[in-house]
């Protein structure tokens, strides 16, 4: 039986958040904890150092928490019969047909072999299509040739989101298609790029922009009115900060990168959202898909979709798959929960067994791949709040 959130427990949730809210730590945040129909939402701190208070409807850059939403709209197209899970992407993305593959992911771009098979939609959803970020890349003393090529094409797919530099979708996918893959399709898990490619695929399958397809198939039906790739209301958007040894450094102001439509709506990391919008998305998955997804698609999105071999050669570090795996564009955890977090300051966790949702939105960029302490403390307190 699902426990109810107790008043005492929710007081500890708030206290866990308050310990971190400060101008030199986390200037502001919105936390939302829900168990069944009981929803507790608390805005704390300020949108910027010395700025206006955070409110419940304040907007945050959710970066990689975008990925599960991209997975959902892709599965909506599978449900509609517009694409097939095991269909090669060549029909809609001819730029990715007849791939070449690097002999070594850190090797010269000309040292390649033919791809063993075509890339499928499933490969993109599971991040096993052969291209993306790996920990070895970040540990290397010098950039790999493939990293330099990605930077030269302004793809912004192997690091933090940067919609200010990315070109339009056709140019972006042509750029990616000009590069060799880093691994054979289906061979190993590699982070992030699959979700960016899915945005182009969804747009071509629907004949809409990716933003338009997302709006009509996911956001509008779920009432996610404040989720999008930019905002015309920058006064509601938190200032983004990067932590440095000298303190917080401005990363992006409210009237900066996300205050105008991007050339490339990035399905990997481009969205802004609010706590209530992300709760609506979580509720849809908890309730079997509602009006936007079939129960079968929800099941696929919330269960392990990787083989042991894919995990053995993938991940962001040796511990990445120790207590979790991957479904379609999000993690699935050994305790049955699922979700994914964003490196610009967001976390989104859904636990069906306990009917629990925990959302934390901040404007502080992560300092490492590990979930920041403020998020861990709030999640721990939320579980403890279940009576």
CATH numeric code, 7-65+223-384: 3.40.710.10
What fold, for 71-206? Answer: Methane Monooxygenase Hydroxylase; Chain G, domain 1 (1.20.58)
| Angle formed at CA 203 by CA 199 and CA 206, multiple of 5 degrees | 135
For 225-262, how does the pLDDT look when each residue is reduced to its tens digit (9 = 90+)?
999 999 999 999 999 999 999 999 999 999 999 999 99
pLDDT in tens, 60-101: 999 999 999 999 999 999 999 999 999 999 999 999 999 999
Q: Cα dist. 91→83, 127, 129, 173 in Å? A: 10, 19, 16, 14
CB burial of residue 152 (10 Å; 0-12, 13-18, 19+): exposed
Segment 260-311, tens digit of pLDDT: 999 999 999 999 999 999 999 999 999 999 999 999 999 999 999 999 999 9
Contacts of 306 (CB under 8 A, 6+ apart): 126, 128, 189, 314, 321, 325, 326
Would you say residue 2 has pLDDT above 60? no
pLDDT at 269: 98
* Angular region, 156: left φ>0, alpha ψ -120 to 50, beta rest: left
Q: Are 92 and 77 in contact (CB under 8 A)?
A: no
Tokens 């307190």 found at: 381
Tokens standing for 349? 């966790």
For residue 1, the model assigns a pLDDT of 36
Q: Model confidence over 40-64: pLDDT tens digits?
A: 999 999 999 999 999 999 999 999 9
pTM of the model as a whole: 0.97
Q: What is the pLDDT of residues 374-384, one digit of tens each?
A: 999 999 999 99
- Measured in residues, the chain has a length of 387
Residue 170 has pLDDT above 90, yes or no: yes
Percentage of the residues of the chain whose pLDDT score is greater than 90: 96
Residue spans per domain, the chain? 7-65+223-384, 71-206
Work out the pLDDT band at 3, boundaries 50, 70, 90: low
pLDDT (tens digit, 9 = 90+) per residue, 142-163? 999 999 999 999 999 999 999 9
Q: Distance from CA of residue 80 to its chain's centroid?
A: 23
Residue 104 burial (CB count, 10 A): 9
Place of tokens 């938190």: 238
């Amino acid at each position: 039986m699902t426990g109810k959130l107790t008043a005492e427990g929710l007081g500890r949730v708030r206290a866990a958040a308050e310990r971190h809210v400060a101008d030199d730590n986390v200037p502001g945040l919105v936390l939302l904890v829900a168990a069944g129909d009981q929803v507790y939402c608390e805005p704390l701190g300020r949108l910027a150092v010395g700025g206006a208070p955070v409110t419940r409807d304040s907007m945050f850059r959710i970066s990689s928490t975008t990925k599960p939403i991209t997975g959902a709209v892709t599965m909506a197209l599978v449900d509609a019969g517009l694409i097939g899970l095991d269909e090669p992407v060549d029909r809609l993305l001819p730029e990715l047909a007849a791939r070449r593959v690097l002999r070594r992911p850190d090797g010269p771009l000309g040292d390649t072999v033919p791809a063993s098979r075509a890339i499928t939609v499933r490969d993109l959803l599971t991040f096993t299509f052969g291209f993306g970020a790996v920990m070895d890349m970040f540990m290397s003393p010098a950039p790999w040739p493939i990293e330099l090529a990605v930077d030269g094409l302004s793809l912004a797919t192997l690091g933090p989101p940067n919609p200010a530099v990315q070109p339009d979708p056709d140019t972006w996918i042509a750029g990616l298609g000009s590069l060799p893959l880093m691994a054979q399709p289906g061979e190993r898990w590699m982070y992030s790029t699959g979700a960016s490619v899915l945005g182009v695929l969804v747009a071509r399958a629907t004949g809409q922009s990716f933003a338009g397809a997302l709006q009509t198939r996911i956001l509008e039906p779920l009432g996610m009115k404040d989720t999008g790739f930019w905002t015309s209301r920058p006064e509601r958007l938190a200032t983004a900060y990067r932590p440095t040894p000298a303190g917080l450094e401005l990363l992006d102001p409210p009237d900066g990168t996300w205050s105008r439509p991007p050339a490339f709506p990035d399905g990997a990391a481009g969205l802004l959202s609010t706590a209530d919008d992300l709760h609506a998305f979580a509720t849809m998955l908890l309730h079997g898909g509602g009006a936007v997804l079939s129960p079968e698609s929800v099941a696929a999105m919330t269960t392990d979709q990787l083989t042991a071999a894919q995990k053995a050669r993938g991940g962001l570090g040796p511990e990445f798959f120790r207590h979790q795996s991957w479904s379609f564009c999000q993690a699935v955890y050994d305790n049955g929960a699922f979700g994914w977090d964003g490196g610009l300051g967001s976390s989104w966790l859904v636990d069906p067994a306990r009917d629990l949702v925990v959302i934390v939105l901040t404007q502080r960029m992560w300092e490492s791949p590990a979930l920041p302490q403020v998020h861990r403390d709030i999640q721990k307190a939320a579980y403890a709040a279940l009576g």
